[in-house]
Amino acid sequence: MRKPIIAGNWKMHKTMEEAVDFTEKVKGLVPSNAQVDTVICAPFLFLDRLVKEVNGYNVKIGAQTMHYEEKGAFTGEVSPAALKGIGVSHVILGHSERRELYNETDDSVNKKVLSAFRYGMIPIVCVGESLEQWENGETNEHVGNQVKRALQGLTEEQVKCLVIAYEPIWAIGTGKSSTAEGADEVCGHIRQVIENNFSKEAADAVRIQYGGSVKPENIRDFISCPNIDGALVGGASLDPDSFLALLEASINE
C-alpha cells in the first residue's frame, strides 16, 4: 500500500510571523512518518526559516515553483540550487495558477521536473482540466497529455518517487469538489498513462493526490479511493487545527 502524502499549498498567504506560529503549533502533533508524509509548501521568503523550524519533526518544506536553470539573468526567479541549498525537499510544479497567470507550459513544467530531480528534490506535478474541458468530456485526454509531457525523459525510478496532483481547475478554491468517484477515475487514467509510457511497477508506485476544495470533512472520501494517495490542499491547509485534522483523516486504517 502506498503511504499517503498530504501537502499544504499556502499560495500567497501568511506573514513570516504567522508562518512560524503555524509550524510551532503543528510540528509536535503531526502523525508519524510511518503513517503519512507531511509537506508544507510556503512562499519563498519563509522557506529557510521553516526548514529550520521543522527540523527533527515529520514535516517537510516545499516551494510552490522554481526556475529550471541553476543560475542566470532571470530577475525575480529562484533556482533549484538555491532551494536545495537551504533544505527544501519538495516543489510544486505546473500548478494551474502558474499555468494560467505566469505562462507555465507543458514544456517548462517538463524542464522543471527534470531539474528538480537533478537537484534531489521531489516534484509535485499538477495537472487538471478546465470546466469547459470537463463539460466536453475531454478530461482524460487533456490530463493524460499533461502527464505524458511533464514526465518526458524521466527514468522509471524517478517516476516511482514523484508525486502527481490531479486538480480539476473548476474545483480549486470554489468550494466545489469533484466527486470522489470522478476523481478516482481520472487518477486511474493517470496511472494507466504511466503504465503505458513507463511500466506497471512505476504506475503502481507513483503517488497521486487529489486537490480542489479538500477539507477535513471530505478528505476521507477521496483518500479511501484506490487510486488516490493523498491531497494537495489550499484553503484548508492554512489553519493549524484544520491541517492536523486533514493529516489524521488521511492515515490508512
Ligand X SMILES: O=C(CO)COP(=O)(O)O
Interface ranges with ligand X (CB under 6 A): 9, 95, 167, 172-173, 211-214, 232-236
- Which residues are registered as beta bridge partners of 62? 41, 90
Distance between CA atoms of 61 and 91, rounded to whole angstroms?
A: 9
| Rounded distance between C-alpha atoms, residue 96 and residue 30, angstroms | 28
How far is residue 31's CA from residue 60's CA, in Å, rounded to a whole number? 13
**Residue from 67, 95, 97, 129 carrying the catalytic annotation:** 95
The 10 Å Cβ neighbour count of residue 161 is 13
Write down the least CB distance from residue 84 to ligand X, Å: 22
181 exposure class (CB count in 10 Å sphere: 0-12, 13-18, 19+):
exposed
What residue is closest to ligand X based on CB?
234
Judged by CB, which is closer to ligand X: 62, or 211?
211
Which of 10, 198 has the CB closer to ligand X?
10
97 is catalytic: no
Closer residue to ligand X in complex, CB, 36/236 = 236
> In this structure, how many other beta carbons lie within 10 angstroms of the beta carbon of residue 166?
29
State the nearest-atom distance from the C-beta of 65 to ligand X, in Å: 12
Residue list for the binding site: 9-11, 173, 213, 234-235
Round to whole Å and give the CA distance between 19 and 10. 10
Q: State the minimum distance, in angstroms, from the CB of residue 128 to ligand X.
A: 9
- The conformation of residue 163, written as its DSSP 8-state character, comes to E
Contacts for 93 with CB less than 8 Å, ≥ 6 apart: 65, 66, 109, 112, 113, 116, 123, 124, 125, 126, 150
Q: 95 or 112, CB closer to ligand X?
A: 95
Residue 76 Rama label (left phi>0; alpha psi -120 to 50; beta): left
Binding residues for substrate: 9-11, 173, 213, 234-235
Choose between 4 and 211: whose C-beta lies nearer to ligand X.
Answer: 211
Q: Shortest distance, CB of residue 162 to ligand X, whole angstroms?
A: 16
- C-alpha 214: how far from chain center: 13
Distance (Å, whole) CA 148 – CA 156 = 13
How far apart (Å, rounded) are the C-alpha atoms in residues 41 and 31?
18
95 part of the active site: yes
Q: How far is the CB of 9 from ligand X (least distance, A)?
A: 4
Cell of 16: 513570516
Catalytic annotation, residues = 95, 167
